[in-house]
Amino acid sequence: MTVPLLLHSGRGRPIWEPKPEVRNVPGRTEKVNVMTHAGKMLAGAVVTVMLALGFSGAAAAKSLADSRAVTGGLISVGIALEVAEKCPEISTRTIKGYSFLNSLKSQARKEGFSDAEIEAYVDDKAEKEKLIAKARAYMKSKGVDGSTASYCKLGREEIAANTQAGALMRAR
């Protein structure tokens, strides 16, 4: 009987011994397969990893809206876009912006979200409105009153402070 390659410990010894061991149980005799020490350790590691993944999956955000990294990043992008739109002295760093959006998508994937879930979140109008409201509340807290000068001032401050939104903008 050959043992599949995946069941080897790497030293030519199988992790699962195909030799049955005879155990005497009152009233009958049983033959059972014996697992080597390496096999027991591997089985323990597999169980540990599965439990960790299960619990982290349960503890993970149920919606991308619950992911601080993703929502915070999208808010930063929104701030950069609105400031660049309202202030003629500031423009967006387009390539850096696309790169940052790709990193947010990667982060969402790391958090266990599928591409379909990510696209659904990005296309959700209600979620967009929530993000816009958060971005505008932040800008208002920083002194934006709707005037071009206030947008330009915020943009220069964000660039100088090297915030995520500031990193996505450049002064002309």
Determine the structural domain holding residue 158 and report its residue range: 64-171
Task: Give per-residue pLDDT as tens, 132-146.
Answer: 999 999 999 999 999
pLDDT at residue 102 in the model: 95
Report the Cα 47 to chain-centroid distance in Å: 23
**Do 122 and 87 share a structural domain?**
yes
> Are 55 and 70 members of one domain?
no
Instruction: State residue 4's pLDDT score.
Output: 39
Same domain for 55 and 90?
A: no
Whole-prediction pTM: 0.64
Q: Identify whether residues 109 and 130 lie together within a single domain.
A: yes
Burial (0-12, 13-18, 19+ Cβ within 10 Å), 91:
middle
Residues of the chain with pLDDT under 70: 1-61
Confidence (pLDDT) at 8: 42
CA torsion sign for 96, 102, 107, 108 is: positive
> For the chain, what is the domain count?
2
| One domain, residues 52 and 72 | no
pLDDT for res 67: 92
For CA atoms 152, 100, 123, 107, give the dihedral sign. negative
Do 69 and 53 reside in the same domain of the chain? no
Whether residue 108 is found in the same domain as residue 146: yes
